[in-house]
Structure 1
Amino acid sequence: MHSFIPPQRFFPYLTWTDIQAMPNKENVVLIQPVGAIEQHGPHLPLIVDAAIGVAVLGKALEKLDESIPAYALPTLYYGKSNEHWHFPGTITLSAETLLATLTEVAESVYRSGFRKLVLMNSHGGQPQVMEIVARDLHIKYSDFLVFPLFTWRVPHITSELLTPKEKQLGIHAGDAETSIMLAILPEQVKMDAAVAEYPPEQPAGSLLSMEGKLSFAWATQDLSKSGVVGDPTVATKEKGDRILESVSGGWVQVIKDVYAFQQPQPE
């Protein structure tokens, strides 16, 4: 049931008496992985975002000093994936349902005495929901510290392994995601079906982009016929191993920082 998570770090394996007796509960770090079940081209399974998040978190928790209390909650596999729903197999929650689900999970752990919760999101279509949940929870419970974090935003070396074009445009089912899937779930990757496809580029000089500071709304079918936005054909397990090692190392530091974090107070 714990998948990639070390069993001693898997929250559901605790008993209620374990939790009742837990010391320093206000600084225990709980991590809620949030993924998606959505198309990732003809070569990758629907579970990519959730699988990568759990694999990264599991590796990070393996590396984490045993003295730091941190636990993974069960992965929320479904997310807000309606940009992909034109492709069969995609399962999506509405923003309202995802927001309500995360809020009610968070309030449950708050009632148990926990005060630090990381929303570890691995799907690019829903960071805004994480941010709304985190802000609203902190406004409602001023001593509740909620961190809406994106799996790929910790320091890591992935960009060093990608071509300039892939770094700019490879946002879905491309080299990085395919490489890490070759490292963690190789039997579920169909490299013989991998195709490269990039979206039409904006006119030279345009300030607008898919996911930059000045973005526009899009559905995947606007960008790609295959569901791929990037080049998975150059992916390798070796790159995936390096990416997993690097991103999980970044998450070790994040968990340490959350454990030590204290809410800023005006002087």
Structure 2
Amino acid sequence: MHSFIPPERFFPYLSWIDIQAMPNKENVVLIQPVGAIEQHGPHLPLIVDAAIGVAVLGKALEKLDVRIPAYALPTLYYGKSNEHWHFPGTITLSAETLLATIVEIGESVYRAGFRKLVLMNSHGGQPQVMEIAARDLHINYSDFLVFPLFTWRVPHITWELLSPQEKRLGIHAGDAETSIMLSILPNQVKMEKAVAEYPPQQPEDSLLSVEGKLSFAWATRDLSKSGVVGDPTTATKEKGDRILESVSDGWVQVIKDIYAFKQPQANG
């Protein structure tokens, strides 16, 4: 049931007696992985985002100092994936349902006496939902510290391993995701079916981009016929091993930071 998570760090394996007796509960770090079940081209399974998040978190918790109390909650596999729903197999929640689910999980965590919750989101279609949930939870419970984080935003070396075109345009099922899947779930990757496909380009003088400071609304079928937005054909397990180690190292540091974090208090 714990998947990649070390069993001693898996929250559901605790009893209510364990939780009731837990010391320093206000500084225990609880991490809610949030993924998606959505298409990732013809070569990758639907579980990519959730699998990557859990694998990164599991590796980070293995490395984390045993003196830092941190636990993984069960992965929320379904997310807001309606940009992919034109491709068979994608399962999506509405933004409203996902928001309500995250908020109610947070409220349950708060009632149990915990005060630090990380929303570890691995799907690019829902950071805004995580941010709204985190803000609302903190507004409703002023001593509740909620961190809406994206799995790939910690320091890591991935970009050093990608081509310039992939760094600029590869946003889904490309080199990085395929490489890390070759590392963690190689039997579920069908490299013989991998195809490269990049989105149609905006005029060179345009300020707009698919993802960036000035973006526009899109569905995946607007950008790709295969469901791939990037080049997975250059992916390797060796690259994936390096990415997994690097991203998990970043998560070790952020968990340490959250454990030590104190809510800012304005002077005056």
Aligned position for 1:171: 171
Aligned position for 2:263: 263
- 1:200-215 to structure 2, matched below 5 A, reads 200-215=200-215
Aligned position for 1:137: 137
| Secondary structure at the counterpart of residue 71 of structure 1 | strand
- 1:18-33 to structure 2, matched below 5 A, reads 18-33=18-33
Aligned position for 1:108: 108
Partner Cα separation in structure 2 for residue 106 and residue 51 of structure 1: 22
Aligned position for 2:83: 83
Aligned position for 1:35: 35
One-letter amino acid matched to 1:260: A
How far did residue 117 of structure 1 move?
Answer: 0.1
Q: How many residues align?
A: 267
Partner Cα separation in structure 2 for residue 205 and residue 154 of structure 1: 31
One-letter amino acid matched to 1:238: E
How far did residue 81 of structure 1 move?
Answer: 0.1
Partner Cα separation in structure 2 for residue 252 and residue 210 of structure 1: 31
One-letter amino acid matched to 1:126: Q
- 1:156-167 to structure 2, matched below 5 A, reads 156-167=156-167
Partner Cα separation in structure 1 for residue 94 and residue 200 of structure 2: 28
- So what's the TM-score if we normalise by structure 2? 0.99
Aligned position for 2:243: 243
Aligned position for 1:66: 66
One-letter amino acid matched to 1:175: D
Q: Deviations over 1:118-176 (max 9, x none)?
A: 00000000000000000000000000000000000000000000000000100000000
| Secondary structure at the counterpart of residue 208 of structure 1 | coil
Aligned position for 2:218: 218
How far did residue 51 of structure 1 move?
Answer: 0.1
Partner Cα separation in structure 2 for residue 212 and residue 188 of structure 1: 31
| Secondary structure at the counterpart of residue 197 of structure 1 | coil
How far did residue 48 of structure 1 move?
Answer: 0.0
| Secondary structure at the counterpart of residue 130 of structure 2 | helix
Misfit runs of 4+, over 4 Å = none
Aligned position for 1:97: 97
How far did residue 230 of structure 1 move?
Answer: 0.2
| Secondary structure at the counterpart of residue 253 of structure 2 | helix
Partner Cα separation in structure 2 for residue 186 and residue 20 of structure 1: 40
Aligned position for 1:234: 234
- So what's the TM-score if we normalise by structure 1? 1.00
Partner Cα separation in structure 2 for residue 196 and residue 21 of structure 1: 53
2:109 matched to 1:125?
no
Aligned position for 2:198: 198
How far did residue 246 of structure 1 move?
Answer: 0.1
Gapped regions of structure 1 (runs ≥ 5): none
One-letter amino acid matched to 1:62: E
| Secondary structure at the counterpart of residue 171 of structure 2 | coil
How well do the aligned residues superpose, as a CA RMSD in angstroms? 0.3
How far did residue 195 of structure 1 move?
Answer: 0.2
Identity %: 88
Partner Cα separation in structure 2 for residue 110 and residue 211 of structure 1: 34
Partner Cα separation in structure 2 for residue 13 and residue 239 of structure 1: 33
How far did residue 205 of structure 1 move?
Answer: 1.6
One-letter amino acid matched to 2:226: S
